[in-house]
Amino acid sequence: MTEFVADVVVLGGGSGGYAAALRLAELGKDVVLVEKHKLGGTCLHRGCIPTKALLHAAEVADAARGAAGIGVVASFDGIDPAGVRAYREGIVAKKFKGLEGLISARGIRVVHGEGSLESGAAVRVGDDVYRGSDVILATGSYSRTLPGLDIGGRVLTSEQALDLDVVPERVVVLGGGVIGVEFASVWRSFGVEVTIVEALPHLLPAEDVSSSKALERAFRKRGIGFQLGRRFSSLTQTESSVTVSLDDGTELEADYVLVAVGRGPSTAGLGFEEAGVRLDRGFVQTDERLRTTAAHVWAVGDIVPGLQLAHRGFQQGIFVAEEIAGLSPVLVPDVDVPRVAYSHPEVASVGLTEAQAQERFGADGVRAYEYNLAGNGRSEIIGTSGIVKIVRRVDGPVVGAHLVGDRVGELITEAQLAVGWEAHPEDIAPFVHAHPTQSEALGEAFLALAGKPLHAL
């Protein structure tokens, strides 16, 4: 056995782990980053980036289909899966190269191999032990499935769905959360017949109900089917098709089934509990400073209960790095982390839903205003419909923002500042939004809540 020493050892080089490593190195710490696969983790290789490349290909397909309607001569002649793959892999490869360069330029020692936690803030990789003053756990998550539903053959997780080199005719998507909705959107744009099955009453059930309903209207218009409030019961597959049975007896036949029912923490068999790290249903239990129950062992990213998003992982990684360096940073609570589903249309939000705000401040203590994108010139030009809904406390700050429409993911930052800085609509109303932009819709909502609507009644 060889023992190596570092200031900090990070286990897992995905969004949370590599962000921690980069910030620690910036703060002058000697860092070892242990990664069993590729730096960048789920987000770069199997998540955010490749799926958004697919969604962009889907957007181009839709634009080609709709070109004649705006006087552009073009035609949609189909999808070339190999071409889409080459485009997607090219983007990932470039970002991966950039990340590797950055990690190396910051002097971070990368150890390639599968690590496990050892008592006393150390990580074992094969026969070698890397001991730090602190260890950060960032081992990420995996696609979950349901009892009686084995992955394989025509039953896919998002990982196999990304790798699919055919455009199927019919797909059933189990789960109407972000991943399910994004794949459904891509496939529909590629010409696939799609049905989403969601056990809860709405698509994107964690979102404000107005956003879910607006998305459902848009999906219905696009011909995306969905079965809401229905549970998966059983599945049979043959060489050429899959049949999914639901709890009400409905049978859905398809070429493939995507299982998108959530992601579990990758923490099993890594020595966490043996080293004193308490788990709850596999998730690492931490205090509000992201300390685990083992001294000098921290956790970030998808293994920490809460939103499973790359940018939450980034900020937790930066937070822990600064905490270790004694800088007393502030952790942004999950509710103030922006959330975006990049479907067509996009759904973006930050802060509380109207129902959550009413629960917290009382029904009379909350006011919500919904501005319809039909009144927004830029949205009309790009051919999108949707809503901007702002929730405020009566005579108080903005506590939530909920947006639906193409490209609204790019608007969520302004809403985040409003929620994060506890701004009152009256404070924001005087700021000017460039015309014609979709951001004017946010401006209109703030103006209306400040009692002086412009292009609204």
Ligand X SMILES: Cc1cc2nc3c(=O)[nH]c(=O)nc-3n(C[C@H](O)[C@H](O)[C@H](O)COP(=O)(O)OP(=O)(O)OC[C@H]3O[C@@H](n4cnc5c(N)ncnc54)[C@H](O)[C@@H]3O)c2cc1C
- Hey, which residues are catalytic here? 435
Buried b / exposed e across 45-67, counting CB within 10 Å, b at 16+? bbbbbbbbbbbbbbbebbbeeee
Cβ proximity of 64 and 58 under 8 Å: no
Minimum CB distance to ligand X, residue 428 (Å): 26
Stretch binding ligand X (CB under 6 A), from 40-48, 381-389, 421-429, 447-455? 40-48
Q: Is 65 in the site for ligand X (CB under 6 A)?
A: no
Draw the binding track, 150-169, toward ligand X (x: CB under 6 A; -: no contact): --------x-----------
Contacting residue, 175, 177, 180, 313, with ligand X by CB under 6 A: 313
- Of these, 13, 175, 180, 345, which contacts ligand X (CB under 6 A)? 13
* Residue 333 preceded by cis peptide, ω within 30: no
Assess 15 for contact with ligand X (CB under 6 A): yes
Distance CA 49, CA 96 (A): 11
Residues in 322-361 at the binding interface with ligand X, rule: CB under 6 A: 342
CA distances from 63 to 58, 60, 190 (A): 9, 5, 12
Residue 78: exposure state from Cβ atoms within 10 A (0-12, 13-18, ≥19)? exposed
What is the CB neighbour count within 10 angstroms for residue 77? 7
132 counts as binding ligand X under rule CB under 6 A: no
Location of structure tokens 């289909």: 65
Tell me: does residue 37 bind ligand X (CB under 6 A). Answer: yes
| Least distance between ligand X and beta carbon 307 (Å) | 8
Region near ligand X per CB under 6 A, out of 43-51, 245-253, 368-376, 435-443: 43-51
Per-residue tokens: 349: 């939000």
Q: Does 42 bind ligand X (CB under 6 A)?
A: yes
Q: Which is nearer to ligand X, 24 or 429 (CB)?
A: 24
Strand 297-299 relative to strand 128-137: parallel, antiparallel, unpaired? parallel
177 binds ligand X per the rule CB under 6 A: no
Q: Distance between CA 168 and CA 157 in Å, rounded?
A: 15
For ligand X, the binding residues in 293-312 under the rule CB under 6 A are 301-302, 308-311
3 state DSSP class of 206: coil
Select 310 or 373, whichever has its Cβ closest to ligand X.
310
Question: What separation in angstroms does the CA of 220 have from each of 8, 12, 215, 245, 317?
Answer: 51, 40, 8, 22, 40
Binding status of residue 34 toward ligand X by CB under 6 A: yes
Q: Tell me which of 61, 122, 140, 347 binds ligand X, using CB under 6 A.
A: 140
Among 14, 176, 345, 351, binds ligand X (CB under 6 A): 14
Binding residues for ligand X, rule: CB under 6 A, are 11-17, 34-37, 41-43, 46-48, 51, 114-115, 138-141, 158, 179, 266, 270, 301-302, 308-311, 313, 342
